[in-house]
A = this chain, B = another copy of it.
Amino acid sequence: MARFELRCSECALVFSEDPKLLVCPECSKHQARGRSLRGVLEVEILDGPARWPDEPLGSPDFLQQVLPLGDPSHLAPLPVGNTPLLDIPRLRRELEMPRLWLKDDSRNPSGSTKDRASLLVAAKAAEYGFETIATASTGNAATALAAVCAASGQRAVVLVPAEAPPAKLTQMLAYGAEVVPVDGSYDDAFELCMEACAEFGWYNRNTALNPFTLEGKKTLALEVARQLAPEIPDAVIVPTGDGVILGGFAKGFADLAAWGLIDRVPRLIAVQPQGASALVSALADGAEDVTPVPGAASIADSLVVEAPRNARSALRRIRESGGGGVTVSDEAIIGAIARLARLTGVFAEPAAAASLAGLEAALKAGLVDLDERVVLLVTGTGLKDRDAAARAVTMPSPIRPELGHLAERLGA
């Protein structure tokens, strides 16, 4: 069971574990409503493994060596992570990138990367004795929390934009979470969840705010590093909303370097939709914080964030890594859904397919070279958003079940 402290990503103050501690009490004094978070805390593991654990990736025995778990028996009985890193020969040929891999995180239990964060947060909530866990979400984080809590028997309250894709809403309801759709944006739901947790004493899973969200997602990087060893990616392509998956990716590689298990870290390439690009804009402007984008919108609902909550830390991480950011149009995202599925057999939701669209933009921008080792992160399954996927394909009309009609249809 790993010992740990919490370090402010801005002022570097260090804190001992405390169930009530979420962000840095000093830096968060300057917090304004509806802005990126000040004083996001990061976990510092004090006794990380000196060599690669032998245990299977994603197993409780593995997780207890690399995560800040008090008692691994609090982990919900739902296998999260240990998703495949795919060889994708056809996409490699098409892009002329012989060293391209795809990390298929759509194969998590609820169908998205968010399961990684929810698993750790729910275990910590159980350890701390909280009866209720709440989160704001564009959809996937809520669904992930609902799935984990269904397996563990914990109470989940989730606040989501009423406009979230119907499949996501249906899925989180099926898991038995208390789902509250809000007439408003994800950012509105985020603020409401802050107030509600303060008022009702719930444990707050809001991404970035809860330090175990970023920490849970770092397992992505540990897996990629293990699966690719002894190679290390030159760059990872990360669809980015709040910047916590990206932060988790960076944190995982940083931990491995600190533990002496790798000797360099990849460049981080953030991908955002043109309609919700606060973080990439700040990168371009050389700013240390984002300017929120009121009315942010994109077909990639999972990335529609006005004020990326982990912006300050994510911007630093990207710059330190020598990486960068790109924006992609909704049209490019829709095209990428079909292209990715046709060439890899991986069917991705818009936010996840943005990874491929982003790679192509990064190639054009010179942020990535064709012969580099690159990992595309696919964060969620295309089944989460049937309506978006329907825009990527053309539904053929039915035929009568007769051979002549079939021959005619196929030109056979």
Contacts and interface: CB of A to CB of B under 8 A. Distances in A.
Interface in A189-215: 189, 191-192, 195-196, 199-200
A66 to B, nearest CB: 20
Given A166-B386, A173-B393, A406-B192, A345 B150 contact: yes
A199 B408 CA distance: 13
A341 B176 contact: yes
A294 to B, nearest CB: 15
Nearest to A190: B401
A49 B306 CA distance: 58
A183 interface: yes
A77 interface: yes
A192 to B, nearest CB: 5
A70 B345 CA distance: 23
A38 interface: no
Given A111-B381, A178-B410, A184 B150 contact: no
Interface in A310-366: 337-338, 341-347
A169 B390 CA distance: 9
Contacts of A347: 110, 147, 171, 174-175
Interface in A355-412: 381-384, 386, 389-390, 392-403, 406-407, 409-410, 412
Contacts of A110: 345, 347
B386 A167 contact: yes
Contacts of A341: 150, 171, 174-176
Contacts of A159: 401, 406
A131 interface: no
A381 to B, nearest CB: 7
Given A147-B347, A381-B383, A192 B402 contact: yes
Contacts of A111: 381, 383
Residue among A87, A347, A381 with the highest chain B CB neighbour number at 10 A: A347
A86 interface: yes
Contacts of A104: 109
B403 A196 contact: yes
Contacts of A338: 174, 176
Interface of A: 76-79, 84, 86-90, 104, 107, 109-111, 147-151, 153, 157, 159, 162, 166-167, 169-171, 173-176, 178-184, 188-189, 191-192, 195-196, 199-200, 337-338, 341-347, 381-384, 386, 389-390, 392-403, 406-407, 409-410, 412
A181 B399 contact: yes
Nearest to A338: B174
A150 B403 CA distance: 25
B393 A170 contact: yes
A406 B174 contact: no
A199 to B, nearest CB: 6
B401 A184 contact: yes
A247 to B, nearest CB: 26
A37 to B, nearest CB: 18
B109 A89 contact: no
A205 to B, nearest CB: 16
Contacts of A189: 401
Nearest to A383: B383
Given A381-B111, A383-B167, A180 B393 contact: no
A386 B175 contact: no
A162 to B, nearest CB: 4
Contact of A171 (B79, B86, B90, B383): B383
B107 A109 contact: yes
B151 A410 contact: no
Contact of A199 (B199, B396, B403): B403
Contact of A409 (B171, B176, B180, B200): B180
B174 A342 contact: yes
A170 B87 contact: no
4 closest Cβ pairs, A-B complex: A151-B345, A383-B383, A176-B342, A162-B398
